[in-house]
Structure 1
């Protein structure tokens, strides 16, 4: 197992989209109360005093939609200027990106992961649960603005839902040909909308790769990221294609990350709720930083046993009390 040095930090659990695979329209979500959200100072404290001493060097800001967080640019600036920071990224739906892109870049952000599940506005609106509101155009403008500002390469995330957007795999893959954009196809997971998952299930990454091979050919790429994607490239393309295959090709033995929710719960595995620690409560109760750090270190040592593959041995039920937006992705 590689060193665990990558922390995903959720800045907010709210989102302006209601993506069907994340927080479906009919879901009765209980949002975190404002007073229970980690403050900017608390985020910096846990990063500097707990995670950096334990070897963490890579941070990804998530949500919900992180660009809805007031002062997000200042959070970016504070993390970017830490001397230990090796990589800092944001995952966003890009709806609010166009007016913020230049400020985020100036604050030190260099990498963006943007959710783009469809190139067809009607399908896009269907997936995000905002039919008829013409959100696709504003998201596309956010992507184009980020590219003009200097974010290069851009990474585009696609959750593939059978019968909804799987017919667009080739069109989305083609975005990597002319631009140095990295398109990531993500297998649909049973978090957020188990009813849709049960009805639609998921498509193994190898099936998607075979379709792309038949169209253009496909070769292994030398580009590697911080995540679990298996990375390929259309011959001669400027960008890459990644496949995140958490359902068909277990990558628990390569997992290098932990997740911190907006309300301060540290989660060692996306698909397993075992072993979580409430760091917010610990900070506010005055528990010594050294004690909290020791608790996190102990959880790190247990992480290989907590990873999702352990579900088969009965250590977790496979029922998830939080949606993807509440966990932080």
Structure 2
């Protein structure tokens, strides 16, 4: 499988405290001095471009809480990257969407786990009762700005949002966006339990029984999501079955953490320290290229299924970038 997609976490900070991402009581974050500078990220991205990466997704934490993100987007585009996308909680999008688009951002994914304002405040750990309305306003602004296709990420949690599947289907129709149902993953916290895990297959069956046949939708990008149009509706839904249906053999991505570690697999704790090379007094671009090339070769032998079964990931999700 050709590696052509790099996820870049620009910060571990966030204005939300989602319960499956930031474990309750978390107070320690990566010191600012240890976070990669934009110029360092751009240098790494430039090398990946030389090795065939043409798609970069910016993540966090919440990427929009880091100041000057538009400058990073400009630098990444200058390195030749064809598509730059953003995964965000959407809270700050209404103020920033048009600027980000003008600087080269192509599209956004917005995390919305529930359409109930009170439940939204609960799962995101915010005291702002108007948070959901602000996120939806950000989605609307993104559509107006042309950051399309806008996709909505919804993490499935039994007993919390499994009763809202129909609401999300109507949401997809109303806003003409794809809603992607994502399986809850056992990454670096205690929120994941067998009791609150829902396999995507269960939601698929419910949709087909309630609404009709799921018709596969062809997408131009290869990735873990399988997209479908619901027969007789304008709704498009996607499923990311990270736990119940492994897609390791088709994985085309690497992850760069905000503190400069390259992860070959979300579920494996093996990390390659690129920051130490960048900040060496005798920095050599050739050495960085050599290390990255070796990582791309090593990626082919990674067994994420074994890591998933052993719950091998011990970093918290907000420190990795998802």
Do Structure 1 and Structure 2 share a fold, with TM-score over 0.5? yes
* Separation in 2, partners of 1:238, 1:35: 48
Aligned match of 1:310 in 303, 306, 311?
306
Equivalent residue for 1:213?
208
TM-score (norm 2): 0.94
1:149-170 deviation per Cα after TM superposition (whole angstroms, max 9, x unaligned): 2223210000011111111112
1:103-128 deviation per Cα after TM superposition (whole angstroms, max 9, x unaligned): 01111112100001110011111111
Partner of 1:249, secondary structure, is: coil
Equivalent residue for 1:22?
21
8 Å contact from structure 2 (residues 159, 196) kept in 1: no
Cα deviation for residue 132 of structure 1 reads 5.4
Equivalent residue for 1:38?
36
8 Å contact from structure 2 (residues 118, 129) kept in 1: no
* Separation in 1, partners of 2:311, 2:177: 34
* Separation in 2, partners of 1:72, 1:39: 11
Greater Cα offset, 238-247 or 38-47: 238-247
CA pair 87-43 structure 1, distance change in 2 beyond 3 A: same
Equivalent residue for 1:222?
218
1:220-273 deviation per Cα after TM superposition (whole angstroms, max 9, x unaligned): 112343421111111254452110001100000110000001110000000111
Partner of 2:74, secondary structure, is: helix
8 Å contact from structure 1 (residues 181, 238) kept in 2: no
Partner of 1:191, secondary structure, is: coil
Partner of 2:297, secondary structure, is: helix
Whether 1:235 aligns to 2:231 is yes
CA pair 30-121 structure 1, distance change in 2 beyond 3 A: same
Map of 1:71-86 to 2, 5 A cutoff? Answer: 71-82=68-79, 84-86=80-82
CA pair 203-190 structure 1, distance change in 2 beyond 3 A: same
Gaps of 5+ in 2: none
CA pair 81-215 structure 1, distance change in 2 beyond 3 A: farther
Aligned match of 1:47 in 45, 48, 52?
45
Equivalent residue for 1:68?
65
Greater Cα offset, 290-299 or 51-60: 290-299
Partner of 2:296, secondary structure, is: helix
Greater Cα offset, 198-207 or 31-40: 198-207
| Number of residues of Structure 1 aligned to a counterpart in Structure 2 | 320
Gaps of 5+ in 1: none
* Separation in 1, partners of 2:208, 2:20: 27
* Separation in 2, partners of 1:110, 1:221: 21
* Separation in 1, partners of 2:228, 2:16: 30
Cα deviation for residue 306 of structure 1 reads 2.0
8 Å contact from structure 1 (residues 177, 236) kept in 2: no
RMSD: 1.8
Partner of 1:219, secondary structure, is: strand
Equivalent residue for 1:325?
318
* Separation in 1, partners of 2:319, 2:217: 33
